[in-house]
Chains A and B, each alone.
Chain A
Amino acid sequence: MLDIRHLTKKFGDKVAVNDLSLNIRPGEIYGFIGHNGAGKTTTLKSVVGILKLDEGEIFIDGHSVKDEPTECKKLIAYIPDDPDLYGFMKGIQFLNFIADIYGVGAAERAEKIRTYSDIFGLTGDLAQPISAYSHGMKQKLAIIAAWLHDPKLIIMDEPFVGLDPKASHTLKLMMREVCDKGGAIFFSTHVLEVAEKLCDKIAIIKEGRLIRSGTMEEVKGDDSLEDVFLELE
């Protein structure tokens, strides 16, 4: 589903991501952990096509992010760490905007908006301007928007930050559901317990380099993920 080959990304002299290779298969929830500034967000943004790759290649379901960016973007959904949405739109206007961009039909979008808004308890706020939303509400709206077009691959940067426990639980269920249907999830997190319980595979990045990756057992063995992570620091 996602194939990152020798990705290198520099900002001036600073190498943010150095020769990173990673492969995510359909059905996998892939956790991406590392300390602040390790290169997680840069990697995710490169996958999404926001950042230009300096070296390497990224393929999504066989399509090159470099050469077929629009085709790749049709297959994915992205939620950044601090989803800044259009404050001048109402919640429902934003969801319709995203649905129009992805070409989601009227009946399909109506059903999905109804379902996911109810699940996240956001239905009553859809007529409110986004500028009046709290951080958590914006996060929920971004999640609903991401799920509107049935993406094959969902990229999320710290998706649980700002969510209440119920919404976090709902999101975890939704993530599993996507994977059960043959999709894949690639997300970064600082919450190691979440990564340990939720992920099928995990990758640890340090100073731009991938230092460990694989199934949970391969990465941590008999230790806890926290112990492994702290040892690598």
Chain B
Amino acid sequence: MHNMVKALIKKELLQFLSIYTIDKRKGRSRSVGVTVLLLILMGYALVSFAGMFFMMYSSIAPAVAETNENRLLFAMAGALTIAVSILGSAFTTYSVLYKAKDNELLLSLPIPPAKILSVRVLTVFVLSLVSCVIAWTPSLIAYVIFIGFSPAVLVGHFIMTFALAAFASVISSVLGWLIALVTGFVRNKSLVTVLLSVGFIAVYYGFYFRMQSILRSVIANMDRIAEAMHGWAWPLMQVGRAASGEILPLAAITLIAAALFILMYVVLSKTLFGVLTASGKVKKAVYREKEAKAGTAAGALLKRELMHFVSSPVLILNTGFGVLVVVVGAVVAVIKADALKDLLNGSSMPFFMTAAAGVLPAAAVSMVMIMDCFTASSVSLEGKHIWLVQSTPVPAKLVLRMKELTHVLLNAVPGAIAAAVISYVLRASLAEAMLSALLAAIFVWLNAAFGLMMNLLKPNLEWTNESVPVKQGLPVLFTMLFGFGSLLVLAGLLIGLSLTVGTIPALAVGCAVFALPAVLIDLWIGSRGAERFRHIS
């Protein structure tokens, strides 16, 4: 039995290390050198995160010292650590507990389910512990540097690392269970995934961009924070006291954490395998024959691309995120119109004073749209389905045109509208607004054509997960690099020409300069590209 648990832990470890030891794209082992390099890079990333938390605690610690409430630092660090751990591990916990691909295999083996669960829960705890170490340990270093050292603090802080990890595991498991529950019952799983992911990104960036002002506010309101810690936020104060080495709160929190962790294990053991083996209670959709409508091949292919896009969270988040950004950007530009105009008017640079309002919207939208490389993975995404379009009487050129059109419809239309709206907000002329919209659309078109060409030259149909061609594909990388290069050309061209010959000629020349390569690439796609597509296998 002991060996069984050891074997399961070894499997979990191998599975975790496989990210570093196996190149899933090529389906072979990485060399030792590459593995070591990847581990070093990962270590560097974790240390960098820890360093960020240390900088934060270091800026708070002197203010804490002035209040004579040193425990406040640990109280705040405790709250932050729990938040970071949950944010960092809720989705991972969901994957470990509910989405593990080997659940069925393990359940079919003569392993008691309790053993499988123990190892899964241990994995969740270790994941939370890693997050805690990154966010929590720097608070001890800042404390020692700015406030002082005592053995009691060292012991208290060390024990609290595990207690906080246990708390985080419990909350992450509850959230993981909720995610499993929601995704198990809803029909449109991809929409839920997209909403959760966008929410996560919004919270993350919201916190990241406002960190400095939050910190300033924390430091300026230390007295009020101390007051709150003694009032409604007293549990956090107990965390601070426990980490400072006070025996009673330390013992109480450790016991509560352990009890909650055991309770979580018991609840999971009663429910987890029920959830794992349940087929979901989504009602089977009933088929009712409707009046059939015949459509064109082009329409069917375009619809196919759009259906694929909206059904795949990976595609939406990785190739449609720019759309969300430009739409939000346009709305913010309208709301903060005065601040935006003041910003431009306040500059003493000639470009900002005279030409920026006319050409900046097109450049800004183009910059954001580089993120969306839909076509750059669209050929690879045909994957094992490619026989369907290759064996039917639809010209390869048409299939490719519809891929490009999908990219343009998804990105160029909102991009052009956003450019026109921002131009209007900045009081650009009608001609400038229209040309800005056109330039943004042409920029998107060029990127769509280039991405498609890259993917035709470097297709990868051998993937098991869509994220491989969408996130890790070379065509996507090349397309992004091309996008950055194009943006530099665009910026140089717009700044140079708008200052010398005016904004309207600058925008018009920009349209022509970017439309020409787009046309040339499209000609290649229609001839040689289509020929390649017909026989890609």
B307 A107 Cβ-Cβ under 8 A: no
Q: A86 touches which one: B289, B388, B392 (CB < 8 A)?
A: B388
Q: Which residue of the partner chain, among B286, B308, B383, B391, contacts A49 with CB atoms under 8 Å?
A: B391
Distance in angstroms between the alpha carbons of A99 and B295 in the assembled complex: 8
Q: Is the CB of B181 closer than 8 A to any CB of chain A?
A: no
- Taking A49-B534, A85-B385 as contacts, is the C-beta distance between A101 and B392 under 8 angstroms? yes
Contact B393 A74 (CB under 8 A): yes
Residue of A nearest to B304 (CB): A97
Residues of B within 8 A of A97 (CB): 300, 303-304
> With A49-B534, A52-B535, A97-B303 known to touch, is A106 a contact of B392 (CB < 8 Å)?
no
CA distance A93 to B297 in the complex (A): 14
A35 at the interface (CB under 8 A from B): no
Closest approach, in angstroms, between the C-beta of B374 and any C-beta of chain A? Answer: 15
Interchain CA distance A124-B289 in the complex, whole Å: 10
Q: Which residues of A contact B284 (CB under 8 A)?
A: 128
Residue of A nearest to B293 (CB): A106
Assuming the contacts A52-B535, A69-B534, A85-B385, asked whether A106 and B304 have C-beta atoms less than 8 A apart, the reply is no
Q: Residue of B at shortest CB range from A103?
A: B297
B391, A50: Cβ atoms under 8 Å?
yes
For residue A122, give the distance in angstroms from its CB to the closest CB of chain B. Answer: 9
Q: State in angstroms the CA–CA spacing of A143 and B286 once bound together.
A: 22
Interchain nearest-CB distance for B98 vs A (Å): 18
Instruction: Point out the residues of chain A lying under 8 angstroms from B392, CB to CB.
Output: 73, 98, 101-102
Instruction: Judge whether B292 is part of the interface by a CB distance below 8 angstroms.
Output: yes
**A127 cross-chain contacts in B, Cβ below 8 A:** 285-288
A67 located at the interface, meaning its Cβ lies under 8 Å from any Cβ of chain B in the complex: no
The reply to whether the CB of B102 lies closer than 8 angstroms to some CB of chain A is no
A125 touches B287 (CB 8 A): yes
Interface centre among B285, B303, B388 (most CB of A within 10 A): B388
Quick check: is A89 within 8 A (CB to CB) of the other chain?
Answer: yes
| Interface flag for B394 (CB, 8 Å) | yes
* Cross-chain contact A86 with B292 (CB below 8 angstroms): no
- B95 interface residue per 8 A CB criterion: no
- State how many angstroms separate the Cβ of A220 from the closest Cβ of chain B: 32
> A53-79: which have CB < 8 Å to B?
69-74, 76, 78
In the assembled complex, the CB of A162 is this many whole angstroms from the nearest CB of chain B, namely 16
Give the distance in Å from the alpha carbon of A140 to the alpha carbon of B395 in the complex: 26
Per-residue CB contact flags for chain B residues 364-399 toward chain A (1 = under 8 Å, else 0) read 000000000000000000011101101111110000
Determine if B108 is an interface residue (Cβ-Cβ < 8 Å): no
Count how many chain B residues have C-beta atoms less than 8 Å from C-beta atoms of the other chain. Answer: 36
- B102 CB → nearest A CB, Å: 20
B294 and A109: CB pair below 8 A? yes
Residue of B nearest to A48 (CB): B391
CB distance from A169 to the nearest CB of B (A): 24
Please encode chain A, from 81 to 113, with 1 for each CB lying within 8 Å of some chain B CB and 0 for all others: 010111011111100111111111111011001
Are the C-beta atoms of A106 and B291 separated by less than 8 Å?
Answer: yes
Q: Name B395's contact: one of A70, A82, A103, A110 (CB within 8 Å).
A: A70
Q: What are the residues of chain B within 8 A of A76 when measuring CB–CB?
A: 391
| Contact between chains at A86 and B395 (CB < 8 Å) | no
Contact (Cβ within 8 A) A88 B307: yes
Q: How far is the CA of A148 from the CA of B300 in the complex (A)?
A: 16
- Does A21 belong to the interface (CB within 8 Å)? no
Q: Which residues of A contact B289 (CB under 8 A)?
A: 110, 114
State whether A110 and B304 are in contact (beta carbons under 8 Å apart), knowing that A50-B390, A73-B391, A74-B393 are contacts in the complex.
Answer: no
**Cβ of B384: which chain A residues have Cβ within 8 Å of it?**
82, 84
Task: Report whether B292 and A106 are in contact in the complex, using a CB–CB cutoff of 8 Å.
Answer: yes
Q: How far is the CB of B526 from chain A (nearest CB, A)?
A: 15
Residues of chain A with a CB closer than 8 A to B308's CB = 86, 88
A72: chain B residues within 8 A (beta carbon): 393
Query: Is B312 in contact with chain A by the CB < 8 A criterion?
Result: yes
Q: Point out the residue from B291, B312, B390, B537 that lies within 8 Å of A88, measured CB to CB.
A: B312
A residues near B297, Cβ cutoff 8 Å: 100-101, 103
A104–B294 CB distance below 8 A: yes
Residues of chain A within 8 A (CB-CB) of B385 are 84-86
In the complex, what's the smallest C-beta–C-beta distance from B278 to chain A, in angstroms? Answer: 15
Which residue of B287, B294, B311, B387 contacts A106 across the interface (Cβ within 8 Å)?
B294
Given that A49-B391, A50-B537, A84-B385 are known contacts, is A100 also in contact with B294, CB under 8 Å in the complex? yes
Within 8 Å by CB of B535, from A51, A73, A106, A110, lies A51
A80 in the interface (beta carbon within 8 A)? yes
Q: Are B294 and A89 in contact (CB under 8 A)?
A: no
Cβ of B206 < 8 Å from any Cβ of A?
no
Most chain-B CB neighbours within 10 Å: which of A49, A71, A101? A101
The complex places the Cα of A123 from the Cα of B534 at a distance, in Å, of 33
* Closest Cβ–Cβ distance, residue B187 to chain A (whole Å): 9
Pairs A–B under 8 Å by Cβ, sample size 18: A48-B391, A49-B391, A50-B387, A84-B387, A86-B308, A89-B304, A89-B307, A91-B287, A92-B287, A96-B292, A96-B295, A100-B299, A101-B301, A102-B393, A103-B294, A109-B294, A124-B286, A128-B285
Chain A interface (Cβ within 8 Å of chain B)? Answer: 45, 48-52, 69-74, 76, 78, 80, 82, 84-86, 88-93, 96-107, 109-110, 113-114, 123-128
Which A-B residue pairs are the 3 nearest by beta carbons? A100-B300, A73-B393, A88-B311
